[in-house]
Structure 1
Amino acid sequence: MELDDIRAFDAWYEKAGVRATARRTVDEDDTDILKEFFPRRLVPHLGHPLVAEREQPLQRYLSAQHLYQWLNFTSHFEVAVVCRATQRIAENRCGLEVSNTARKNAFKIMVDEGYHSLYSLDVVDQLEKRSGIGALPYDFGPFIRNLDAIGHGYPQHRRLVQLLQVVVFETLITSILVDIPKDPDVITVVRDTVSDHAIDEGRHHAYFSAFFRYLWGQLDPGERRLVARFLPDVIVRSLHPATAPAHAALRQAGFSEDRARLIVAESYHRDAVLRGIRFASAKTVALFEDCGVLDIPGAREGFVEAGLLEEPPT
């Protein structure tokens, strides 16, 4: 699909979340706030035996902190990473010549993402007040520093790396956006907010899939080799779960330092983390393969080494 042929934005003024939906608010029904903050199956440390044996209020506290962490991450990420790169496209500063149609759609994405940041923070505030469970402090700094360290030795390609970051993240399919809206056991405002987000992200997925095809077609052989080298690291760093917030929540919930470290280490062990990353990135990797990225010498081996592809049979 060509960048100008994306039909997903044709009805943006009528259907985008920021245009078509009212502010999502916490249900006044006392039974709704007693539902789950986050599906237990999507919070690895809740399944650890040392946590599972504890009282339900403690588990509920940890679930709330996991939701708050995810919403706070979303609030920061959409602006700091997605809008940063998308603004380059919108303002025709991405290093490629893009049409006015593609630029206007990029501006629409920036509006969407700004709204996602706003309502993510809004939902945290509402749930804190309604549930009585306050959110622990959140620091986005470690994530963005780690992500931006990719390609650090190639400062002349910083713009390209930022474009790859947004392409990767906007083409991922995560369990959160897929599963939460369908889960009746989750607090309604959380389900509705994630559903709104998922609908907007469908448009963004179409845009950045087409954008990568256009970008790849404009790169010279040396740039293609560089991109093929960077992409596995971008995927893994984008999807690797942040364990510091889980550790902080466990400590705040009363676990000792040693036990908190043990719970995190055993809940987020390498094999389980890689399975999750491989699942979420499957469509993104398929996009890269379809474009010919994995045909670059050494590229497929790099994706295999990163755990994003199975080892080819010998």
Structure 2
Amino acid sequence: MAYRSAFGRWDSQASVRSKPVRETTEPTDCYYPPELVTGYPELRSELAPEQLQHLLTLHLYAYLDFTVQLESLIVLPVTARLGSGRAGLELPPAMRRDAMAITTDEAWHGQFTFDLIERIGAQTGVPPRLPETYEFQRVRGRLRESVEPALRHAFDLLITYVSETLISTKLLMLPRDERLPTYVRDVIADHGQDERRHHAYFRALLPHFWHSLGRRDRAVLGALIPEMISAFLGRDESLERHCLTRAGLRPDRAADTVRALRGTGPAERLLHDSRACVRYLVELGAVDLDMIEERLTA
């Protein structure tokens, strides 16, 4: 199948080439949708109004920093190898060129997200105290160590495919939420517009990658896909404890609160946000849909 590039107008549409630096707008009382914070209705009886606002801002920081870490540590190394022809795949020149465009995009996303965190901190007075690591990094490290060294570049490409084809509720919801400051919404919207092109690219790349693998390697990597999805979309209890503690809850109380909320994870959201990623894999015969759904809802 001939490759149809989604980057034909990259020079005029990519945020790094065409979007202005978003000027800081007036503050609001809300910097993150409460609906996206696990157990928020219960937390309203635990925290004062000022602490709740603090908590929402901390969750926004974490979402933004998650983006910086993902783009810098997972996506960029893979797209650089794809673009330079060092990913072990025979790709047409247009696909290599588009991989280099994604590399440029992702570096820019990391830069403008870092800048956004600083501006929010200056506006709110809430220090951007960020977690040292995130669940997706811990899971990624464990899974990568579980495969033999010769398969780790393929693992890196697969987990990048997963991250780039998930359609996050957060990425869709935040730009539309008028409770948030306009500049925050605009920056996240700019990011989302670029990610739609990246999604199209990795969908087109998937057959090239999957058909390059042997049967045994496909079985090994395919079995890891549900955990990869959960790493990006599932609950991060360590992050939740971090945010609660920084918002003013005692560490022991924060731990008890997070523990009490176990079993309330967003299983439906996992299925919803991963549907496109999984569908492309199922269409290719790479995974069994029932297996994916069973493990995501377990």
Length-normalised TM-score, structure 2: 0.92
Change (3 A) 1:308 1:104: farther
Instruction: Give the equivalent residue in structure 1 for 2:295.
Output: 306
3-state SS in 2 of match to 1:162? helix
3-state SS in 1 of match to 2:30? coil
1:86/1:110 contact within 8 Å kept = yes
CA-CA distance at 1:255 after TM superposition: 1.8
CA-CA distance at 1:151 after TM superposition: 4.2
Instruction: Give the equivalent residue in structure 1 for 2:63.
Output: 70
Change (3 A) 1:253 1:183: closer
Change (3 A) 1:277 1:266: farther
Amino acid at match of 2:279: A
Cα-Cα RMSD: 2.0
Amino acid at match of 2:285: G
Is residue 96 from structure 1 mapped to residue 89 from structure 2 by the alignment? yes
Instruction: Give the equivalent residue in structure 1 for 2:24.
Output: 26
Structure 1: runs of 5+ lacking an equivalent: 310-314
**Structure 1 segments of 4 or more deviating over 4 A?**
none
Change (3 A) 1:252 1:145: closer
Amino acid at match of 1:287: Y
2:244/2:254 contact within 8 Å kept = yes
Amino acid at match of 1:169: S
How many equivalent pairs are there? 297
3-state SS in 1 of match to 2:96? helix
3-state SS in 1 of match to 2:67? helix
Structure 2: runs of 5+ lacking an equivalent: none
Amino acid at match of 2:212: Q
* Structure 1 residue corresponding to 2:101, chosen from 105, 108, 117: 108
What is the percentage of aligned positions where both structures have the same residue? 28
Instruction: Give the equivalent residue in structure 1 for 2:184.
Output: 190
1:251/1:260 contact within 8 Å kept = yes
- How is 1:121-132 mapped onto 2 (pairs within 5 angstroms)? 121-132=114-125
3-state SS in 2 of match to 1:277? helix
Is residue 247 from structure 1 mapped to residue 246 from structure 2 by the alignment? no
In structure 2, how many angstroms separate the alpha carbons of the residues matched to 1:251 and 1:134? 13
In structure 1, how many angstroms separate the alpha carbons of the residues matched to 2:282 and 2:75? 23
Amino acid at match of 1:303: I
Is residue 85 from structure 1 mapped to residue 74 from structure 2 by the alignment? no
CA-CA distance at 1:300 after TM superposition: 4.8
In structure 1, how many angstroms separate the alpha carbons of the residues matched to 2:134 and 2:180? 29
3-state SS in 2 of match to 1:185? coil
Change (3 A) 1:218 1:126: same
2:66/2:134 contact within 8 Å kept = no
Instruction: Give the equivalent residue in structure 2 for 1:15.
Output: 13
In structure 1, how many angstroms separate the alpha carbons of the residues matched to 2:243 and 2:297? 30
1:164/1:234 contact within 8 Å kept = no
Is residue 212 from structure 1 mapped to residue 181 from structure 2 by the alignment? no
Instruction: Give the equivalent residue in structure 1 for 2:260.
Output: 266
CA-CA distance at 1:237 after TM superposition: 1.9
Amino acid at match of 2:53: R
2:151/2:217 contact within 8 Å kept = no
In structure 1, how many angstroms separate the alpha carbons of the residues matched to 2:294 and 2:76? 30
Amino acid at match of 2:179: D
Change (3 A) 1:231 1:179: same
1:128/1:134 contact within 8 Å kept = yes
Change (3 A) 1:52 1:199: farther
CA-CA distance at 1:207 after TM superposition: 0.2
In structure 2, how many angstroms separate the alpha carbons of the residues matched to 1:72 and 1:301? 33
2:140/2:228 contact within 8 Å kept = yes
Task: Give a deviation string over 1:91-147, Cα, whole Å, max 9, x none.
Answer: 111111112211110010011111110111101100111111111133137642421
